[in-house]
Amino acid sequence: MSALTHTPLSRHPDNPRIFLFRTQPTLLITSGEHYGAVLNRAFRTSEYLKTLAAAAFNLTRIFSGVYCEPPDAFGISKNTLAPAPEDFLCPWSRSSEPGPDSVGRKFDLSQWDPAYFERLRQFLEEASQHGIVVEYVFFCPFYEEGMWSRSPLHPDNHVNGPAGLKGIRRNEVWSLDRHRGLLGLQEALIRKVCRELAGFDNLYYEVCNEPYVGKLPQDWHDHMARCLVEAEKDLPDRHLISWNVANDTATIRNPDPAYGLFNFHYANPPRAVVENASLPHPLGDNETGFRGQGNGNYRREAWEFLMAGGALFNHLDYSFAVGHEDGSYEYPATQPGGGNAKLRSQFTFLATFLNRLDLVAVRPAQHLILDGVPAGCRAWMLAVPAQQYALYLTSGPAMTLTLQLEKGRYHMEWFKPTGGKRLESRVIDAKSGPHRISTPSPDPDLAMSMVRE
């Protein structure tokens, strides 16, 4: 087990909208595989993590193994969440009793699988060496019968389930009153994982992926979050707990104090950040997709979410697959999302751009954009007034913006987010008040950094 030399990833004490990781203010940015790195034994994790590290990414997302997918799920080719039965690892050991062909030998829910936890700890350890945070997701609704029929919790797939489990519907599993005895197994899994991973600082937990899709009960979800808190009560450190709130956006009201961050999916434009700006928590966009395979939509989604004040972005990158752990898989036209080396390089530039800012002091500053943004273009600003300003424009022709600036001399640079090329560099002298600035032509989008000299 990794020796924990720092407190785990946490909310920054001076700006709780971002993270503190290994003493540094941190944004989490990545382009990662489809969450099967640990549960799919055929996936070469070392090569994958090295590829993320080479791109300066610091996050990856994994599922626990309670949920996996059939090979044809969502039209995903070479889906890492759809391992062959002989390659599927989950927290519970296999029995000697044969099960369905799609599952292999049945599971014994009274026995933990040492091979799973060894692989999990090894993954956390290697990620730690690269400075990569792991999001561990416990549960997920069963979108279709094909997912439920492969779960270790399905009554056909284990040897020792509670009496009366036959006939349980797939999302009754995730409830406080219809689980037919499976709730205790879920609580035991939480306790086991918390003990196994107690020594890692590069970790946070997510209770459930997309609980809103299956309309899973909020009381069950909050109960699981409180179980996590209770499981870590007597351990040396506490890890952040994520609530995956919604696709796109939702206004968070009176959340259970167990939650330390809130994640959204497909959050573009970033209404989720704007509508929850008063919360003292980091906000994340931790799944993308279903917007074609081109790079532009996902690059803009990342820039907009983080420039609006978000703290976490995870692109779902289908170029990572078994045999292509370096992100080289050329997926078919039917793949429901994108990902490739060029897009990853664009995210790397985004991370470099943002990490030049004073992340503790900088705040969203839309109010400082007074005029000049044409129809069809969205503009986002982060600023420490009188010190530094950052601007992102999604599209449009060259424009003249009116910005509210503080008096001073500033070094202004314009960049192409598509490759990081610097388009223009100049020094401006500003008086306090409105200041007109002419931009280069977005091609197709544009970023600006302005720092006081």
Averaged pLDDT, 249-257: 98
DSSP E strands in 218-326: the ranges are: 241-247, 261-265, 283-285, 312-316
* pLDDT at residue number 1: 43
pLDDT tens, 148-187?
999 999 999 999 866 567 788 998 999 999 888 899 999 9
Average pLDDT over residues 110-116: 98
Q: Could you tell me the end-to-end alpha-carbon distance of the chain, in angstroms, rounded to an integer?
A: 47
Q: Is the pLDDT of residue 235 over 60?
A: yes
Residue with tokens 């008086």: 431
- SS3 at position 449: strand
The overall average pLDDT reported for the chain is 97
| Confidence (pLDDT) at 162 | 60
Predicted pLDDT at 132:
99
What are 257-269's pLDDT values in tens digits?
999 999 999 999 9
CA dist 414 to 255, 291, 391, Å? 40, 27, 9
Q: How far apart are CA 198 and CA 236, in angstroms?
A: 7
pLDDT of residue 6: 83
The DSSP annotation for 65-96 comes to SS----TTGGG-TT-TTS--GGGB--SEEEEE
Per-residue pLDDT tens digits for 386-410: 999 999 999 989 999 999 999 999 9
Taking the CB of residue 170, how many other CB atoms lie within 10 A of it?
18
Determine how β-strand 133-139 pairs with β-strand 105-112.
Answer: unpaired
pLDDT band at 86 (very low <50, low <70, confident <90, very high): very high
Look up the pTM and report it: 0.97
Report residue 226's pLDDT band, with 50, 70 and 90 as the boundaries: very high
For 275-322, how does the pLDDT look when each residue is reduced to its tens digit (9 = 90+)? Answer: 999 999 999 999 999 999 999 999 999 999 999 999 999 999 999 999
Cβ atoms of residues 118 and 138 within 8 Å = no
Closest CA to 314 of 239, 261, 264: 264
Average pLDDT of the residues in 126-139: 99
| Domains of the chain from N-terminus onward | 10-355 (3.20.20.80), 365-452 (2.60.40)
